[in-house]
Structure 1
Amino acid sequence: MLWTRLKNPATKLFALLLLLVVQSSNSASSRNQQCGSSLQQTLKLTRLIQKESVELIKTYKASQGDMSHLFCKVSIPDVPEPNISGLEPSEKMQSILQHLQAFSSHLRRVYEQQTDLQDPRSLLLVQLGIVGTNSRNLQALMQAFYKNIFPNLQDWSGGAPTSLPPPQNIFQQKVYGCVVLKTYKEFLLNVGRELRTIKGRVCRGRRNLL
């Protein structure tokens, strides 16, 4: 009886369409799962670096001598703001990537400056190196995620060159380093919040975003 019904062209067409819908649903579910897994991995690394930055600031202040508790309270125009701009997920991702690139340059400058001020085996240099490496890994993860989720948008290959401060004396270097680390920690907190929002929008409704 069932075979007789399937011989009907209309019934065959319906069965074929039903099969395609099921396959498409399974495929979409798989893509969303991969999207969520990838973004969760990125969020996990963000949280790790944020925790590392908290300990790094403590070590930094302890290694800078007198008045170090005041260094992070100074405002420096060359250091990026911790806020993330954009309305759409793709715009927020671009903003995060631009900030990561900028902070990477500033962290490298801080490391170079502290190399001249600290013992080569100091805990501060070790922690600065770890945070710098993990930050570059985070940027690579997010750039790969961006290319995968937004393939129809213009490829993001980096923004304008980062503006670093001019030559500084030792006191200015100490202040600069503290401000960079404090601002970077605040930025990472913002990244964590944005990634959780982006995950809910992008990994569940990708068709509406492209």
Structure 2
Amino acid sequence: MTGHVKNMNFHQLMETATAFLSLLLVMAVDSTTSVTPSGNQQCGNSLQQTLKQTRLMQKESVDLIKTYKGTEEEMSEICKVSFTNVPEPNISGLEPSDRIASMYTRLQAFLPHFQRVYEQQTDFQPSANSLLIDLTAASQRSRILAVQIKGLYQSLFPNLPMPEPAGGPTSLPPPLNTFQQKVYGCAVLKNFKEFLSNVARELRTVKSQVCRRRTRMNAVF
């Protein structure tokens, strides 16, 4: 299948999900702007929405890997092979602001890899295959989560610009043979699942360190 046709298939599925994405984004914005809460309420509301989205995606990422492995009998063994040229799941930074910014930039780094995995899988799967649909959904939800994380950062640190990633985004791999493509796809999905676990843990830490600290400060004043 040519790259042009693969891109068409990907974009068709992306367009199908655009209305859903737009609705969710409007709902997210409306939920934060319909009222004017205190700083601590903003902290809690924005963080809770982001954490809820992360947990949903974390659960779906487990199912996505199962679907990916289930496409062929040998996929479980293939997924044990390491592959280096994929985004790392770790979150960097010492301050809460740095770590939230790291969540955002790391998530952005995963997006082109999702598209590459999708394009590769069109060579192995029929167009209506559940794996292709799930990959598109994961990409769409990732974009929603990126918007929420950026909004959370701006809510918590309105005077700090979003910093650029220290190491820059990971580059896409060069052309791969069939075996390498399968290894690469599994590595992307596994790292993404681990990344979401790290994001959920970090958000819980931010809730205890930043939001509760603001509650104490508000009580004092």
Flag whether TM exceeds 0.5 (same fold). Answer: yes
Amino acid paired to 2:96? P
Corresponding pairs, count: 179
Q: Does residue 94 in structure 1 map to residue 110 in structure 2?
A: no
> Per-residue displacement from partner, 1:129-154 (whole Å, max 9, x unpaired)?
11110011001110111122212212
Q: 2:143 aligns with which of 112, 133, 136?
A: 136
Identify unmatched segments of 5+ residues in structure 1.
1-28
> Contact 1:107–1:180 at 8 Å: present in 2 too?
yes
> Contact 2:120–2:181 at 8 Å: present in 1 too?
yes
Q: Does residue 166 in structure 1 map to residue 174 in structure 2?
A: yes
Aligned to 2:119: 112
Name the CA distance, whole Å, in 2 between partners of 1:154 and 1:45: 24
> Per-residue displacement from partner, 1:154-174 (whole Å, max 9, x unpaired)?
234777343111011111111
Q: Does residue 55 in structure 1 map to residue 63 in structure 2?
A: yes
Q: 2:183 aligns with which of 175, 178, 181?
A: 175
Name the CA distance, whole Å, in 2 between partners of 1:206 and 1:174: 47
The alpha-carbon deviation at position 199 of structure 1 amounts to 1.3
The alpha-carbon deviation at position 206 of structure 1 amounts to 4.9
Aligned to 1:30: 38
Secondary structure, counterpart of 1:77 in structure 2: coil
> Contact 1:101–1:158 at 8 Å: present in 2 too?
no
Name the CA distance, whole Å, in 1 between partners of 2:162 and 2:66: 38
Amino acid paired to 1:79? V
Q: 1:150 aligns with which of 153, 157, 167?
A: 157
Amino acid paired to 1:72? C
Indicate the RMSD between aligned Cα atoms, in angstroms: 2.0
Secondary structure, counterpart of 2:38 in structure 1: helix
Q: Does residue 41 in structure 1 map to residue 57 in structure 2?
A: no
> Contact 2:87–2:170 at 8 Å: present in 1 too?
no
> Contact 1:83–1:187 at 8 Å: present in 2 too?
yes
Q: 1:126 aligns with which of 130, 133, 152?
A: 133
The alpha-carbon deviation at position 73 of structure 1 amounts to 1.7
Name the CA distance, whole Å, in 2 between partners of 1:181 and 1:41: 23
> Contact 1:105–1:162 at 8 Å: present in 2 too?
no
Q: 2:208 aligns with which of 189, 197, 200?
A: 200
Secondary structure, counterpart of 2:203 in structure 1: helix
Residues 54-73 of structure 1 correspond to what in structure 2 (within 5 A)? 54-63=62-71, 65-73=72-80
Larger radius of gyration: 1
Q: TM-score, normalised by structure 1?
A: 0.79
Identify unmatched segments of 5+ residues in structure 2.
1-36, 216-221
Aligned to 1:6: none
Aligned to 1:78: 85
Name the CA distance, whole Å, in 2 between partners of 1:182 and 1:93: 21
Amino acid paired to 1:108? Q
Name the CA distance, whole Å, in 2 between partners of 1:82 and 1:161: 12
The alpha-carbon deviation at position 30 of structure 1 amounts to 2.1
Q: Does residue 184 in structure 1 map to residue 184 in structure 2?
A: no
> Contact 2:118–2:135 at 8 Å: present in 1 too?
yes
Q: TM-score, normalised by structure 2?
A: 0.75
